[in-house]
Amino acid sequence: MPRLLLIRHAEAAARAQQGDLERPLTERGRADAARMGVYCSASGLSPDLTLVSPARRARETQDIMAREFPQKPACDIENLLYDSDVETLRDILQGISVSVKTLLMVGHNPGLAEFAHFLLSGAASTPLIHFPAPCLALIDFACGDWIEAAHGGGRLESLMNFSCVPADDLLAR
């Protein structure tokens, strides 16, 4: 049963002199990314594989989160996660090996919000899910592989906005 963790990167600086791809996390963003990592680790949400956008803010989010995992998952930079749409994300998902049971994708809006909505409803349309930075959507699939999962039919197990959850409440959930 495939399990997908969709994560929108943590809060980033508004600008970077080197351009959008080089926007770093803010101090708050770094703290929120660490809290996401603690939550995932304590909840047993340890991925087999992580795919991360090449944007600095996404890479930093993943790096900080991974420090909290008991075992470091395989991690690949996936260039297509930057400025992606539903079809691109579906293509990525269909290419995931059946040996990967839990996949973590760290990317951006509006693509992730639209993709989450598609996976839950089975139809591409206006996103219903508000996906702020940083946010984690945990989606479970009843099917046997990622090819089937890419067609939708997922069940939203949880949706968490880590910028508004008090740190003490994270482990109580």
For residues 88 and 106, what is the distance between their CA atoms, to the nearest angstrom? 14
Q: Is the pLDDT of residue 5 over 60?
A: yes
In the prediction, which pLDDT does 145 show?
95
- What are the residues whose beta carbons fall under 8 Å from the beta carbon of 6, sequence distance 6 or more? 105, 107, 112, 115, 116, 136, 137, 139
Give pLDDT tens digits for 49-79: 999 999 999 999 999 999 999 888 899 999 9
Burial (Cβ within 10 Å: 0-12, 13-18, ≥19) of residue 21:
middle
Q: Is the pLDDT of residue 44 over 50?
A: yes
Number of independent structural domains in the chain:
1
For residues 21 and 1, what is the distance between their CA atoms, to the nearest angstrom? 34
Q: Is the pLDDT of residue 20 over 60?
A: yes
Which CATH number belongs to the domain containing residue 101 in this structure?
Answer: 3.40.50.1240
Contact status, residue 70 vs residue 46, Cβ threshold 8 Å? yes
Q: What percent of the chain has pLDDT over 90?
A: 77
pLDDT higher at 104 or 170? 104
In the prediction, which pLDDT does 95 show?
97
Query: What would the mean pLDDT of 10-38 be, rounded to a whole number?
Result: 94
For residues 112 and 97, what is the distance between their CA atoms, to the nearest angstrom? 21
What is the domain range of residue 149?
3-170
| Tokens linked to 101 | 């049971």
Contact status, residue 92 vs residue 79, Cβ threshold 8 Å? no
Q: Is the pLDDT of residue 127 over 70?
A: no
How many angstroms from the chain centroid is the CA of residue 3?
Answer: 12
Bridge partners (DSSP) of residue 5 are: 104, 138
In the prediction, which pLDDT does 128 show?
55
